[in-house]
């Protein structure tokens, strides 16, 4: 799962990035918009009971990769999606926009002041403008292609042109593509263009530590506007960064003293999983117990491909059991003896918490 973090200067996005990655990001980009990449594991309480069953050498949780961009503040207009940033953001699974709701005497506010509602609108508008440029170019090319098209080519070109007209109409009205009622075929057509407003959007409101008691109300006020695959949450990024850099036991004790949720910034990843509508399945043997994330509705053969492409190509069947039934049975051999392992074919839809044993021809 890959998440692109965007936000205007001094919104606290890099502070949140540090909190999410435990300060383990690495700068990989050059130029006017360098990018810092950090990967973090998703804690999952189901992994340790499964490890007790398999006795593996290692436990591998699912991972999240975050990308943090540093906009050029010297530019006439600070851009969230300019240059290298656009190329990376088009490839991520979800966008995370950090907006400012804190005031600080030594940190100048943006031109519109400390106004998270306005800042969210600015972010959405900039994403829409980037998509509008893509949509207009594609519509123009289709129009030109239609002029010289052969009769049998015209229906497909006209059909695609109709989809882009929908997209252009929505963007010009200020509506993101994610809110359009598109058919599956239309979604597949647009998927290769990686439109930014088609991606799920998680808005994280960065509040003062003194406003933590009001965090839920602040987030709810920004959640009032309807929208699909869009969620708002509020937290104090500097506090979360400081806690993330502490020893885990010390951080949990501090959280309890402040009345903060125990999962901390883990709630950011969980919210992203919900937005993307992902499910977790597990694999296990004496070498490794591992968690995998796949979109809800993924068939077993595609889940096998997530593990290794050879498994997808040579897929024979999957042996499936819910993780808790496996733990209760004491192991795969006993689960098989009790008839708890279900043989499933390519089309079986993987469910949350499934343990899969893939049989394939190599």
Lowest-pLDDT range of 104-113, 138-147, 174-183, 339-348: 104-113
Lowest-pLDDT range of 24-33, 152-161, 296-305: 24-33
Give yes or no for a contact between 278 and 271, defined as CB atoms under 8 angstroms apart: no
**Cα 285–286–289 angle (5° rounding)?**
50
**Cα 162–166–169 angle (5° rounding)?**
130
Give yes or no for a contact between 223 and 237, defined as CB atoms under 8 angstroms apart: no
Asked if pLDDT for residue 226 goes beyond 80, the answer is no
Q: What is the mean pLDDT of residues 236-245?
A: 91
Q: What is the mean pLDDT of residues 43-61?
A: 95
Give tens-digit pLDDT for 17-41: 999 998 776 666 545 557 889 999 9
Q: Which residues contact 73 (CB under 8 A, 6 or more apart)?
A: 9
Tokens of 275: 């937005």
Q: Which domains does the chain have, with CATH numbers?
A: 2-111+200-275 (3.40.50.300), 125-197 (1.10.150.300), 297-360 (3.10.20.30)
Give tens-digit pLDDT for 254-291: 888 888 877 778 889 889 999 999 999 999 999 999 99
Please tell me the pTM assigned to this model: 0.88
Tokens of 105: 């005497």
Query: What pLDDT sits at residue 59?
Result: 97
Query: What pLDDT sits at residue 221?
Result: 86
Query: What pLDDT sits at residue 255?
Result: 87
Tokens of 306: 């997530």
Q: Which residues contact 319 (CB under 8 A, 6 or more apart)?
A: 336, 341, 342, 343, 344, 356, 357, 359
Q: How far apart (Å, rounded) are the C-alpha atoms in residues 107 and 103?
A: 8
* CA terminus-to-terminus distance, the chain: 28
Q: How far apart (Å, rounded) are the C-alpha atoms in residues 165 and 150?
A: 22
Q: How far apart (Å, rounded) are the C-alpha atoms in residues 52 and 330?
A: 9
Lowest-pLDDT range of 80-84, 114-118, 244-248: 80-84
Query: What pLDDT sits at residue 263?
Result: 78
Q: What is the mean pLDDT of residues 352-360?
A: 97
Q: How far apart (Å, rounded) are the C-alpha atoms in residues 247 and 289?
A: 25
Give tens-digit pLDDT for 168-184: 999 999 899 999 999 99
């Amino acid at each position: 799962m890959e998440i692109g973090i965007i936000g205007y200067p001094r919104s606290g996005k890099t502070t949140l990035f540090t909190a999410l990655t435990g300060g383990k990001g690495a700068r990989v980009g050059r130029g006017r918009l360098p990018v810092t990449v950090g990967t973090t594991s998703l804690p999952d309480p189901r992994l340790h009971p499964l490890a007790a069953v398999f006795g593996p050498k290692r436990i591998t949780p699912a991972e999240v990769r975050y990308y943090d961009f540093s906009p050029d503040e010297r530019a006439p207009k600070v851009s969230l999606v300019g240059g290298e940033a656009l190329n990376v953001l088009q490839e991520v699974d979800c966008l995370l926009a950090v907006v400012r709701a804190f005031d600080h005497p030594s940190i100048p506010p943006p031109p519109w002041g400390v106004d998270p509602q306005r800042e969210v609108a600015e972010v959405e508008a900039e994403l829409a403008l980037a998509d509008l440029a893509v949509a207009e170019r594609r519509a123009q090319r289709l129009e030109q292609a239609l002029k010289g098209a052969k009769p049998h080519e015209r229906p497909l070109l006209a059909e695609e042109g109709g989809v882009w007209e929908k997209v252009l109409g929505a963007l010009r009205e200020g509506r993101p593509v994610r809110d359009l009622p598109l058919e599956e075929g239309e979604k597949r057509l647009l998927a290769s263009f990686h439109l930014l407003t088609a991606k799920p959007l998680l808005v994280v409101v960065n509040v003062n530590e003194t406003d933590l008691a009001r965090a839920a109300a602040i987030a709810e006020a920004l959640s009032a506007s309807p929208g699909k695959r869009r969620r708002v949450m509020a937290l104090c990024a500097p506090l979360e960064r400081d806690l993330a850099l502490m020893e885990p036991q010390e951080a949990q004790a501090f959280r309890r003293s402040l009345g903060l949720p125990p999962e901390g910034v883990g709630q950011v990843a969980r919210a992203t999983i919900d937005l993307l509508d992902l499910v977790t399945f597990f694999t296990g043997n004496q070498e490794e117990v591992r968690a995998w994330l796949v979109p809800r509705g993924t068939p077993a053969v595609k889940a096998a491909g997530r593990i290794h492409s050879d498994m997808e190509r040579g897929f024979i069947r999957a042996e499936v059991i819910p993780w808790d039934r496996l733990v209760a049975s004491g192991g795969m051999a006993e689960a098989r003896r009790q008839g708890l392992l279900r043989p499933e074919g390519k089309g079986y839809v993987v469910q949350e918490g499934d343990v899969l044993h893939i049989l394939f021809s190599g």
